């Protein structure tokens, strides 16, 4: 890691080894002191109230709040929350279908904890489980595969969701199932690509931004090269960032430095993990198991459809959609209803506390949208920060 704040303190690879080092208060404050006047200069030069920076990843949103970065800089930087919460763009029809399958005696639906509180058309998966449906929360797809081995009399469906980040583990699990002949294991694959998602968001609102903090985890898989279009087509600085406070502060500093120099390019602050070309083995697994296919049902995303993936034909016998069919009343490929404000938040056009439902009709106990309950949801970040009175 480079010296992020110009401090005399050594911050080379040998010096920063533990997570506490990435949360160093002295260095963080030094960076805040550097960012603040730079942001003010840039805003003044451009006639802006604040410099608008989108953090694409919902994990970054939560770090910004948790470590007080949002609160420390919000008067000079407008943090625009991006679409990087796969649960938040998940259509309600998918949840409704999983509830339907889980209510069958011969089926078990397994998924990540993030998904079970997402509103469907009726019951959430959590409510369905309380009513006796077979819903299992897992920490990995391999755990779902193990459930299938342990329950040979049941069909186990893993709701496979997430950006390119989680696709490799889904793919490798399916390859294992096929190799080991676990025929009662299936995937309901609703993965989504970060690049077309970003393209959809920028096509709608790039003019409101001055730069973007790029997602770290998904970039470990796809690398930094696929983001070149952001600088080339939209003239915006794009800095891929790690997830600790110093990572994010350094990334902000790098974006501002580009703006001050009049540059727009892709930079990689998270070089300790992210390479230019990504993880070849992970990409190979993805390309074998999945193929891109337009899905028209994502929440928000401006009508962009060329985003989704389905299982390739080689794995048809493990494809839950083909094996068990879609039996919910609504069309799973239609845009499901949720408050329009959710779509605006996903597109970075509305700040959560400006939603009329925020902390009124929509709370953690009674969410109207997944943004309020997902671990990466922007509304959940604001809700947990208790920041609704400080906008
Ligand atoms: S507060 Fe609720 S209704 Fe409003 S955008 Fe967030 S999740 Fe959607």
pLDDT for 102-130, tens place per residue? 999 999 999 999 899 888 778 899 999 99
Q: Could you write out the three-class secondary structure of 42-89?
A: HHHHHCCCCEEEEEEEHHHHHHHHHCCHHHHHCCCEEEEEEEECCCCC
Residue 119 domain-assigned? yes
Residue 28 domain-assigned? no
CA-nearest residue for atom 7, ligand 1, is 369
Give the distance (Å) from ligand 1 centre to CA of residue 339: 7
Domain holding 107, by residue range, is 92-194+277-324
Give the distance (Å) from ligand 1 centre to CA of residue 259: 32
Q: Mutation test of ligand 1: which of 341, 346, 384 has the most ligand atoms closer than 8 Å to its C-beta?
A: 341
Q: Angle formed by the axes of helices 25-46 and 245-261, to 10°? A: 30
pLDDT, tens only, 259-299: 999 999 999 999 999 999 999 999 999 999 999 887 666 77
Q: Which residues contact 145 (CB under 8 A, 6 or more apart)?
A: 156, 158, 173, 176, 177, 182, 185
Pocket of ligand 1 (CB under 6 A): 339, 341-342, 345, 352, 355, 357-358, 362, 368-369, 371-372, 379
Residue 20 pLDDT level (bands cut at 50, 70, 90): confident
Residue 377, number of CB atoms within 10 A of its CB: 29
> pTM of this prediction?
0.87
Q: Which residues contact 37 (CB under 8 A, 6 or more apart)?
A: none
Residue 264 domain-assigned? no
What is the tally of structural domains in the chain? 1
CA angle, residues 115, 138, 83, in degrees to nearest 5:
35
Q: Which whole number is the average pLDDT over 144-158?
A: 98
CATH of the domain at 292: 3.40.50.11740
Q: What is the mean pLDDT of the chain?
A: 89
pLDDT, tens only, 230-268: 999 999 999 999 999 999 999 999 999 999 999 999 999
Cβ atoms of 42 and 50 within 8 Å: the answer is: no
Instruction: Give the per-residue pLDDT at 204.
Output: 84
Residue 171 domain-assigned? yes
Give the distance (Å) from ligand 1 centre to CA of residue 379: 6
Residue 217 domain-assigned? no
User: 4-18, 48-62, 132-146, 317-331 — which is least confidently predicted?
Assistant: 4-18
CA-nearest residue for atom 5, ligand 1, is 342
**Helices H / strands E in the chain, number of each:** 15, 11
Buried b (16+ CB within 10 A) or exposed e, 6-23: eeeeebeeeebeeeeebe
């Amino acid at each position: 890691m480079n010296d992020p704040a110009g401090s005399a303190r050594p911050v080379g690879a040998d010096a920063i080894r533990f997570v506490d080092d990435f949360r160093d208060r002295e260095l963080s404050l030094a960076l805040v002191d550097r960012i603040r006047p730079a942001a003010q200069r840039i805003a003044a030069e451009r006639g802006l109230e604040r410099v608008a920076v989108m953090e694409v990843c919902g994990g970054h949103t939560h770090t910004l709040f948790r470590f007080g970065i949002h609160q420390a800089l919000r008067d000079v930087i407008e943090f625009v929350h991006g679409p990087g919460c796969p649960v938040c763009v998940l259509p309600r029809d998918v949840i409704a279908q999983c509830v339907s399958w889980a209510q069958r005696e011969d089926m078990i639906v397994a998924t990540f904890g993030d998904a079970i509180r997402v509103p469907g058309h009726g019951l959430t998966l959590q409510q369905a489980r309380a009513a006796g449906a077979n819903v299992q929360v897992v920490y990995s797809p391999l755990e779902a595969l193990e459930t299938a081995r342990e329950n040979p009399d049941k069909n186990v469906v893993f709701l496979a969701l997430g950006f390119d980040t989680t696709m490799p583990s889904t793919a490798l699990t399916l390859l294992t199932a096929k190799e080991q002949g676990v025929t009662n294991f299936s995937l309901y694959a609703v993965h989504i690509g970060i690049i077309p998602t970003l393209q959809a968001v920028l096509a709608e609102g790039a003019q409101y931004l001055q730069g973007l903090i790029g997602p770290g985890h998904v970039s470990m898989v796809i690398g930094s090269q696929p983001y070149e279009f952001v600088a080339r087509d939209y003239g915006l600085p794009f800095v891929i960032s790690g997830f600790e406070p110093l990572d994010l502060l350094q990334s902000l500093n790098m974006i501002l430095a580009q703006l001050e120099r009049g540059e727009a390019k892709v930079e990689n602050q998270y070089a300790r993990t992210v390479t230019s070309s990504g993880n070849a083995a992970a990409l190979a697994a993805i390309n074998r198991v999945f193929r891109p296919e337009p899905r028209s049902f994502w929440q928000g995303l401006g009508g962009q459809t060329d985003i989704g993936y389905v299982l390739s034909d080689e794995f048809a016998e493990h494809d839950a959609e083909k094996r068990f069919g879609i039996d919910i009343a609504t069309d799973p490929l239609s845009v499901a209803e949720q408050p329009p404000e959710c779509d605006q938040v996903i597109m970075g056009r509305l700040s959560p506390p400006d939603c009329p439902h925020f902390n009124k009709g929509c709370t953690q106990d009674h969410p109207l949208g997944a943004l309020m309950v997902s671990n990466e949801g922007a509304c959940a970040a604001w809700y947990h920060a208790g920041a609704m009175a400080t906008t």
